[in-house]
Structures are given as C-alpha cells and as structure tokens.
Amino acid sequence: MTGTIGSNADRASGLAAAAAVAGGGFQSVQVFTSNGTWNRPTGITKIMIKCKGGGGGGGGGYTDAHSGTGGAEGGTAIEFLDVSSTASASVTVGAAGAAGSAGNSGGSGQTDGGTGGTTSFASICSATGGDGGFSIDSNNFIGRPALGGLGANGNLNIRGSTSTGTNRITGHFTGSGAGTGSGKGVTGASTAGTDAIANSGGGGAGGTYGAGGTSGAGGAGGSGYVIVEEYK
C-alpha cells in the first residue's frame, strides 16, 4: 500500500506496518551514502528502507539586481519489506544538484541550479531529487521557488520541502535551499550561495547579484542516501 504522509489513513497503515516489522526485534542497520549493494545478513527477515533523493542546486546570481533562488529538498520514500527470500538488492544514491553558474559583467552566463538525482532501492522504492533553484534575469521581477522531489512506491511517500524564492526588492539576499542540511541564504554583493551538507538531500542556496560585475554562483545541493534497518 502506498500513500502520501498527509493522510491519517496512510499514517495509520504505515505505523501498523512498522509495528509488524519491529515485532521481530531490531538487529542492525546499513547506511548507504554512495551506490552499492545491500546484502541480507543471516537471520534477517524484514527491513525498513528509507530512500532520500538528492537536493537541487541553487540558482546563480544575475548582474542586474537579481539574486538566485534556493534549490529544493529531495523526496523521501519509506518501505517496510519482507526479505525472507531476497539475498541482495542494488542501491542507487541520488547525486547532488549542480550549483548554478554566476552571471558575468555583460549580464549573461547565469544558469539555474541542477536537479538532484533519484535514489532507489532496487525497483522496490525510490525518491526523486529536488528541483534546482532559478537564476532570474532582467525580464523577471520575482524568482519562483523550486519544488521538492517525490517519494514513490513506499508505504510512506513524502514530497521534499519547497525552497525560498527571491525578488528584486530583497537586493543582495538570496533564497535559501530547502530541507535539513540545506544551504542558507547569503548576503553581500557577488556572494556565492552556501552548499548543502553532503548526503542530506537538502538544497543549495542561490548566489547574490553584483551590479556591474560578476555575480555569485549558486550553492550545490546535498546528495541523497539510503538507510536500511534490519529485523528478525
């Protein structure tokens, strides 16, 4: 059964599944911060998987009073699974969204932040990365926030947090990235956005503008992770 975390019925079904898993007793945990293979330890019959997608990168600053917006948080999927007949499973950890490039003195060259990568546990469950932040130009007054990634095929599927947008009124202040471990907004002319913490799934902050000169680049997002709790 799958569902979003916002539903009481989904919460109840998720808690019921968790109780069933925990009934056999927690034994161990494996944490993946890069691609790999999960191998079932002897005696383990059930697992709880948490997949976190990569965070989006922050948008680069533009030279004409426009600071970049922050990247969004990666989605989350949580799945409770019987693995009595499963020996191993492939694990893919979503990459960090790339930082957006800074604008140059000619008023060009700025780019949006990159979208975070998708994290997955075999074909069982997955979580997409957060969208990259935006680098707004002189044709736009407001920099819209980036949308969070989505969990899929879990007992609980959670959308990542939306990032902070910007507008010309905010001046030398960028949009923050979204999620735990995200890059926080920065101030000052031509300042690079703060990177998110690695393996947090948080978004990077946007870069500030630099009137008449080079602006600040966005911050990189945080890569994702997979946590596998193991039970008898």
Q: Is the pLDDT of residue 175 over 70?
A: no
The per-residue pLDDT for range 33-63, each reduced to its tens digit, is 999 999 999 999 999 999 999 999 988 877 6
Compute the distance between CA of residue 176 and CA of residue 174 in angstroms, rounded to an integer.
6
Q: Are 75 and 160 within 8 A, CB to CB?
A: yes
Query: 39 pairs with which residues across the strands?
Result: 88
Among 110-124, 148-162, 168-182, whose mean pLDDT is lowest?
Answer: 168-182
Mean pLDDT for the stretch of residues 109-130: 93
Compute the distance between CA of residue 51 and CA of residue 155 in angstroms, rounded to an integer.
12
Residue type, 152: A
Q: Within a 10 A sphere around the Cβ of 127, how many other Cβ atoms?
A: 36
User: Smallest Cα–Cα separation from 225: which of 27, 93, 65, 70?
Assistant: 93
The structure tokens listed for 225 are 């992770």
pTM of the prediction?
0.82
Among 15-19, 77-81, 120-124, whose mean pLDDT is lowest?
Answer: 15-19
The structure tokens listed for 19 are 């109780």
The structure tokens listed for 13 are 């079904």
User: Smallest Cα–Cα separation from 128: which of 170, 169, 157, 85?
Assistant: 157
Compute the distance between CA of residue 71 and CA of residue 182 in angstroms, rounded to an integer.
9
Predicted confidence at residue 224, as pLDDT, reads 98
Report the length, in residues, of the chain. Answer: 232
Predicted confidence at residue 8, as pLDDT, reads 41
Q: Is the pLDDT of residue 144 over 80?
A: no
Compute the distance between CA of residue 229 and CA of residue 187 in angstroms, rounded to an integer.
41
Phi then psi dihedrals of residue 150, to 5 deg: -125, 140
Compute the distance between CA of residue 157 and CA of residue 178 in angstroms, rounded to an integer.
18
